[in-house]
Structure formats: C-alpha cells, structure tokens
Chain A
Amino acid sequence: MPFIQIALNGQPQQIPEGSSVADLLALSGADRQQVAVVVNEHIVRPDERQGYPLHHNDQVDVLVFAGGG
C-alpha cells in the first residue's frame, strides 16, 4: 500500500495514501476524546473529518485542553 508523509503535531509520520482526518485520529488513538484538528492552519470540524482527505506534506495538529492559567 502506498504511503504519504505528513507532520502530526510537528513530528513526521507515514500514513496510508487516501487516509482521512478521521482515519488519522483512529490511527493515533485520538478518536476517543474531544480534540480539535487543524490541517495547514484550517480547522477541521468533527462532521468534516470522515471526508477530509490528507495529502503529502500536510501539517496536522491535534489539540486538547490542558491545565493553564
């Protein structure tokens, strides 16, 4: 299966070509909690993730709420 390379939270990662944002979340264990997803500075909402394809060299950030003041 051909792979593409993306950056997930700043780290290079190989994922199967044709993967969607939802696939990436499942692959990285981030599909069981409330997360925000940003692809190339574009926010991808939950209802868009299944049909949102990822491409070679995409910059993907997956974010949660952590402690802060």
Chain B
Amino acid sequence: MDSLQLGSYSFSSRLILGTGKFSSTRSMLEAVRSSGTQLVTVALRRFNRNQAEDDLFGPLSEIGGITLMPNTSGAATAKEAILAAHISRELSGSPFVKVEIHPNPHHLMPDPIETYEACKILAAEGFLVMPYIPADPVLAKRLEDVGCASVMPLGSAIGSGQGLSTAAMLSIIIRESGIPVIVDAGLRSPSEACAAMEMGCEAVLVNSAVAVARDPAAMAGAFARAVEAGRQASRAGIMPKSGTAVATSPLTSFLGTAP
C-alpha cells in the first residue's frame, strides 16, 4: 500500500488540511470530512469564554481517524515556538508539530535561523517536527540532519494563491531529500497540488484555497482527487520532454505513397 510515512505514523491520504479562515466551524468540519485528510493543522489561541466556537479540539476529535498537527504560528523566535510546541503537545497528545516562525506579518516568510534552532531542540525531544521553511535546499538538508520528520517548503507566500513560484528550488529539495517533502502554502487550485505531487512531493498542505472557496467541502474533495492523481502520475513515470516532435503514428506506407 502506498502511504505517507512520518515517523511511526502512516497515512493513506497525502492531503494535509489547515483549519484557518473558514466561515464557520461547521464549514471547516465538512471540508475535513470531504477531503479524507488524516492530518490536520490547528493553532493555539487564548481562551475566550465569549467565543467558545473557537475551540476546535472537541469537534475535530469527533471525526474519527484525524491526527492533529498543531502549529507554532504567532511565534517570532525559537524560544516561543518551543514553548508553543510543548503547550500543544500537552493539549493534543500528538507528537506532531508544525514549526512555523515568521516574525514579519507583512510577508510571513519563515525565519530560517530561528526555525533551525527550534527544530534541532524539538526533534531531540522526540517531536515529529514538520518545519515550514523557505524553499532552500541547504536549509532543508540541515533540517533533515537534525532529525525532522519532513520539510515543508513554501510554494509561495502564505495565503497568496501564487502557486508553485518556487518550483525550481522545490525540484532540487525533492531530488536531494531523504525525508518527505511537503509543499505548504501558496497553492490556489487543485491543478497546482497535482503538479506538486507530480514533481515528487510526498504530500501537500492546503488551507486558504479550500477555506475561501464558495463551496469549501467540494473544493476539499477536488484537492484530494488532484493529490491522488499527481501521486499516481509520479509513481507511474512521467514521460521525458523532447525538443522536437516525435511521431505517434506511422509516417510511411500511407495511401498513395511508395512502400
């Protein structure tokens, strides 16, 4: 069986879903169900008794077969991300953590130095560390060396919908990596998720493209099928490009031509 292996965890779905930006908890839950995802990202937030619907732990627990991957969004330093990871593990019981450290709210680009420092410590503590990183092959390899379970380079800026603008660098990361490469951020449409999988990504993480769709559940289903198609194509062997035409039909022995 073809499954996504992260640490000792095995997932048949290769679509990881974020839970932000949905118009309601109900809409998010419908998208989670429709996507068939088994790994879902959540964020820590301060409790507010007047916004009890913010708490997603209960509703997500009621859907069977979901593993939580809390993120450290909001952390601007390694120290803050490590504390967020510890709090999240306490709350979720999950060993997964998406390390996400972006100090600048205008571009949300991950800080590679703080991310590396946090990952090194969290991996040594036994977390299954999934760092959100710039599409940097050197950083990706260094994170593999310190024991991360995967690397999650960005396709483009968070929430931008600019797709696989880092495709050339992603190809290098995929070629060099000994751990799963998961494209996280920037995907706008299922065709881009399919393209990422065809390139050899092991999974994709999608949030905004599903959450802001007119019909999030339908879009989640579309992404799920695109991810499956891309994975199958990658395993089936995609034909090489040719600089010239290569005929698919015989060009000789046609009517009226000499044998």
Contacts and interface: CB of A to CB of B under 8 A. Distances in A.
Contacts of A61: 46
A10 B45 CA distance: 12
B47 A68 contact: no
Interface string A23-60: 00000111001111010010101000000000000000
B43 A66 contact: yes
B19 A69 contact: yes
Interface residues of B, number: 40
Interface string B35-50: 0000001111111110
Given A30-B47, A36-B91, A65 B55 contact: yes
A32 to B, nearest CB: 9
Given A28-B47, A34-B55, A64-B57, 18 more contacts: A33-B58, A36-B87, A36-B88, A65-B45, A65-B60, A65-B68, A65-B70, A66-B43, A66-B55, A67-B19, A67-B22, A67-B54, A68-B19, A68-B73, A69-B18, A69-B71, A69-B159, A69-B207
Interface of B: 18-22, 28, 41-49, 52, 54-58, 60, 68, 70-71, 73, 83, 86-88, 90-92, 158-159, 185, 205, 207-208, 211
24 contacts: A9-B46, A28-B47, A33-B52, A33-B57, A33-B58, A34-B57, A36-B91, A38-B87, A41-B83, A63-B46, A64-B45, A64-B46, A64-B55, A65-B68, A65-B88, A65-B92, A66-B42, A67-B22, A67-B28, A68-B43, A68-B71, A69-B20, A69-B205, A69-B211
